[in-house]
Amino acid sequence: MRKLALAAALATSALATPALARDNSWYVGADAGVLLVEDQDLTFDAVPPGGRAVPSIDYHKGYDFDGNIGYDFGGFRLEAEAAYKRAKIDFDRTGGGFGGAASALSFMLNGLLDFGPDDGLQGFVGGGVGVSRGKLASDIVNDTDTGFAWQAIAGVRYPVSSNVDVSLKYRFFNQDDIKLIPAYQSVYGQAGSNAETKLRTHSILLGLTYNFGSPAEPAPPPPPPPP
């Protein structure tokens, strides 16, 4: 009987879920995926006679990727993130349409709340604030502007080892009041005038995170029953 109890205790210990290294540790990660951009107007403050003031910018699908470093407090994470987004654009002008590209390089501070089991599929929600350098590159406007940005984040993650997680993340990103200067006078605006737009994006990202913490020591097996 004693041998049977000892064997059962050892089997229980061997089948226990491996400890994870998430809580109270630093981590680094990277994400990449597809970018969808909301169409926006480009407003000029000085329009030539007979011109149009508000052309609409039509965005193609683009890409979004980032790197991050943070600390997991256990149920809450604080991280610094650097991200780059880019998408091609189209809009019409007199004499035909033209294209170009819009992009943003951002540096954000994010706070994330985790929920769910540490040893399985876990969800997270949060947001971030920071600065973004928005750029519009076309044959009418080729300029950049740096300003305040914010974002909302939600996703799920799953541990594939004691130190590595994979994740699927949604991110909404917003930079308002992007002020640009036209390269030359056009049907939309005069050279040297101010143009204003905003950038609102939706991203679906796959991610990989490495946790630097050491897994907790497994609990010792129960002592054998007395003889």
pTM of the model as a whole: 0.78
Contact (CB, 8 A) for 78 and 108 = no
Class of residue 177 by CB neighbours under 10 A (exposed 0-12, middle 13-18, buried 19+): exposed
Residue 94: its pLDDT value, please?
44
* Each residue's pLDDT tens digit, 149-161: 999 999 999 999 9
Q: Structural domain tally of the chain?
A: 1
Q: Is residue 5 part of a domain?
A: no
Q: Reduce the secondary structure of 88-147 to three states and give it as a string.
A: EEEEEECCEEEEEEEEEEEEEEEEEEEECCCCCCEEEEEEEEEEEEEEEEECCEEEEEEE
Residue at 16 is within a domain: no
CA–CA distance, 72 with 113 (Å, rounded to integer): 10
pLDDT tens digit sequence for 11-65 = 444 334 445 667 789 999 999 999 999 988 777 776 555 555 556 778 899 999 9
At residue 114 the predicted structure's pLDDT band, cuts being 50, 70 and 90, is very high
Side-chain half-sphere of 137: how many Cα atoms within 13 Å?
9
Tell me, what's the pLDDT at 189?
Answer: 52
H or E element at residue 175: strand 164-180
Number of helices and strands (H, E) in the chain? 1, 10
Token pair in block for residue 158: 């799953």
Interval 209-224 mean pLDDT: 76
CB 178 within 8 A of CB 125: no
Q: Output the pLDDT for position 52.
A: 54
pLDDT at 194: 76
Give me the pLDDT at residue 109, please: 99
The pLDDT value given to residue 28 = 98
Domain for residue 19, yes or no?
Answer: no
**Is 11 contained in some domain?**
no
Residue 24: what pLDDT?
Answer: 86
Q: Which tokens sit at 140? A: 């009418």
How much is the pLDDT for 85? 97
Of the ranges 7-21, 121-135, 145-159, which one carries the lowest mean pLDDT score?
7-21
Residue 59 in domain: yes
- Higher pLDDT pick, 199 / 40: 199
Kindly report the CATH number assigned to the domain that includes residue 167. 2.40.160.20
What mean pLDDT do residues 65-92 have? 93
The domain of 90 spans 25-211
Pairwise CA distance, residues 29 & 81, whole Å: 9
Residue 10 maps to a domain: no
pLDDT band at 222 (very low <50, low <70, confident <90, very high): confident
- 107 in any annotated domain: yes
- Among 55-64, 71-80, 134-143, 181-190, the minimum mean pLDDT is found in 181-190
Largest CA distance in the chain: 102
Residue 2 lies in a domain: no
pLDDT of residue 89: 87
Q: Is the pLDDT of residue 7 over 70?
A: no
Say how far apart CA 35 and CA 88 lie, in whole Å: 11
